[in-house]
Structure 1
Amino acid sequence: MDKKPRCPSRRLIRLTLKRKSSDKLCFLYHVFSRQWSHKYPEFKSDKGDINGLGRRLPGGAWNYHADMVPTFCQSMKVWGLDVDNIYVPVNFRNEHWIAIWISIPKRHIVVWDSILTHIKAADLDVLMEPFVNMVPYLLVECAGSDEERVKHTLEPYTYERVRVGVPLCRAGDCGVWALKYIQCHALGMSFP
């Protein structure tokens, strides 16, 4: 009797990614973005030591850095070493989904939004603040050696919302749209 794969959608993505030249990718699920957005005020209020380190990261931050979660689809790839590109669906106020692509080498985050008028620029700044600040911090704090640590800085990442060439969708379809857009971009495919 054949066993069904425990995570068929991830299996499909992994099989398709084998055809892609770069396997330095990480796909995070929505819990990451919700947890980091929720815990960011604690991180922001913690000043750390004189070097800016020692601040309180959300629980499980190391597990994300080492790609050990979710437990049913671990890759054990370390951000900044084995992973250059991170894809994450992000929820805005429990009413709208966007997709983000975090490029570690470029120190930049790209935001794709299927309904550009839904999130105002000021609200997007607030939504992105945890990611532009905590991702570089995590890379420095969790670096395995001094050589790795000097490759990263505590300077916040930059971000942009892509406004041209991003297909739009109807209200209610934004969650599926975000996941499909992430998949297509990671595979280098055009969006259907």
Structure 2
Amino acid sequence: MAATNDLGVGRGAPSFVASPREDSDEDFTTPPPSKVGKAPLQDDGNANDLDGMIGRRSKRVRTLSTKLDGRFQYEKKTKLLVGHPSPVINQANISVDPEERFQNSLKKLKAISSISFCGGVALSNKDILDLIDRKKNLSSKVMDALIKFSRHLLRTDDVDGDKLCVEVLDSKFVSLFCRQFPKFSRCPSKSEFQFPPSLTDLLSGAGESDRVQLFTDADYLYLPFNFDKKHWVALAVDLKSWKIIVLDSNTQRRKDSAIQDELMPLAVMLPYLFKQAAFNPLMSNCLLDPFSIERPIIIPQVASPLDTGIFSIFLIHTHATGGVSECVDFEVGGLQSEVKKLVSALILVGGY
């Protein structure tokens, strides 16, 4: 079972043990933290048994799924693995060293001002270089571009035609959604609260051809969340188990009580948004109970807070293909090499 700190939101959710982490002064929510107690070990519903491990790597034999193998495949030209060492295959099907591919990509990057990919999403030359160097926190613009790129990756079919049952939304959705909470909390009848059409359009993916419907085509919804504009986490919203799994690569930045306070708007409002949107019968009949919130304590931890943005992107990839256990197996020491692979893939998809 994956070890978690359960943050006590939702149907009969247990309380939790607050670990010694620093709180932030920022708090845009009103609900108080729950009682402090002891949380049992829980599974995220999409992972292998981790034998109750805390703070050590899995000794199980790694099994690479075809989804993981094919995640960075573009028109059968390029193959990269997130979190795993692998060669890159060029058009002639000859193995190319990833570092060589990256250096060639850098040469192309220096000759252009920006790259466009995934339906017109664009990143400037400077954005890409900032992603490589990470001397400051990734901006929402860069994160959202990577989120849309991730959606493209996770839409890649398996060789047997299977698809991952996941959806990915960006920080624009999260920001607009959380801004509804003050009005929502004052509304005497929550079921009658009307979310703005612009929000339901973002949820449905109006005008975007690569979107799928929640509940029918997606069991997990992934969201980026930023604390204080300094700390990114990935949220895995489990639509079957009705919980939000916080994939946090720098847990010392927030106590569990602070995580609960700041994610409470999402946990409480999401069911009402789903009910109002009602894109399909399963969504229209969903429960209105708040989502429970869990933060697994075995997620790999990055040394620099400036790495939480890009690491959150990789955590979305790994959780989508193998759950918490796959996240645990991500080699933090290989983060920079994975960033280089990602940059090479971005430039390739951009047509350069």
For Structure 1 versus Structure 2, the TM-score category normalised by the shorter chain is 0.7 to 0.9
- Asked if residue 13 in structure 1 is aligned to residue 153 in structure 2, the reply is yes
Instruction: Please give the secondary structure, in 2, of the residue aligned with 1:161.
Output: strand
Cα deviations by residue, 1:143-191 (Å, 9 ceiling, x for unpaired): 25767533x1111111101102x11112211111111111121123542
- Asked if residue 60 in structure 1 is aligned to residue 198 in structure 2, the reply is yes
Tell me the percent identity.
Answer: 22
Shift of 1:57: 2.1
| Rounded Cα–Cα distance in structure 1 between residues aligned with 2:312 and 2:165 | 20
Instruction: Please give the secondary structure, in 1, of the residue aligned with 2:312.
Output: helix
Cα deviations by residue, 1:9-64 (Å, 9 ceiling, x for unpaired): 3475146x41284432111111122222232212221233xxx4221325522123
1:38 aligns to what? 179
Q: In structure 2, which of residues 238, 241, 258 is the aligned counterpart of residue 123 of structure 1?
A: 258
RMSD over aligned Cα atoms: 2.5
Cα pair distance change 1:115/1:12, threshold 3 Å: same
The letter for the 2-side match of 1:63 is D
* Contact 2:230–2:305 (CA under 8 A) maintained in structure 1: no
| Rounded Cα–Cα distance in structure 1 between residues aligned with 2:218 and 2:241 | 13
Instruction: Identify the range of structure 1 (106-115 vs 119-128) with the bigger mean alpha-carbon deviation.
Output: 119-128
| Rounded Cα–Cα distance in structure 2 between residues aligned with 1:45 and 1:57 | 14
| Rounded Cα–Cα distance in structure 2 between residues aligned with 1:126 and 1:168 | 22
* Contact 2:220–2:236 (CA under 8 A) maintained in structure 1: yes
Aligned residues: 180
Shift of 1:142: 1.9
2:272 aligns to what? 137
2:295 aligns to what? 161
Calculate the TM-score normalised by the size of structure 1. 0.81
Moved over 6 A (4+): none
| 1:40-189 pair list within 5 angstroms | 40-48=181-189, 52-68=190-206, 71=207, 73-144=208-279, 149-150=284-285, 152-164=286-298, 166-169=299-302, 170-188=304-322, 189=326
The letter for the 2-side match of 1:116 is T
Cα pair distance change 1:147/1:122, threshold 3 Å: closer
Instruction: Please give the secondary structure, in 1, of the residue aligned with 2:200.
Output: helix
| 1:14-29 pair list within 5 angstroms | 14=154, 17-19=156-158, 21-29=162-170
* Contact 2:170–2:224 (CA under 8 A) maintained in structure 1: yes
Calculate the TM-score normalised by the size of structure 2. 0.46
Shift of 1:132: 0.9
| Rounded Cα–Cα distance in structure 2 between residues aligned with 1:23 and 1:80 | 13
Higher relative contact order (CA 8 A, sep 6+): 2
Cα pair distance change 1:53/1:12, threshold 3 Å: closer
Instruction: Identify the range of structure 1 (80-89 vs 175-184) with the bigger mean alpha-carbon deviation.
Output: 80-89
Shift of 1:118: 0.3
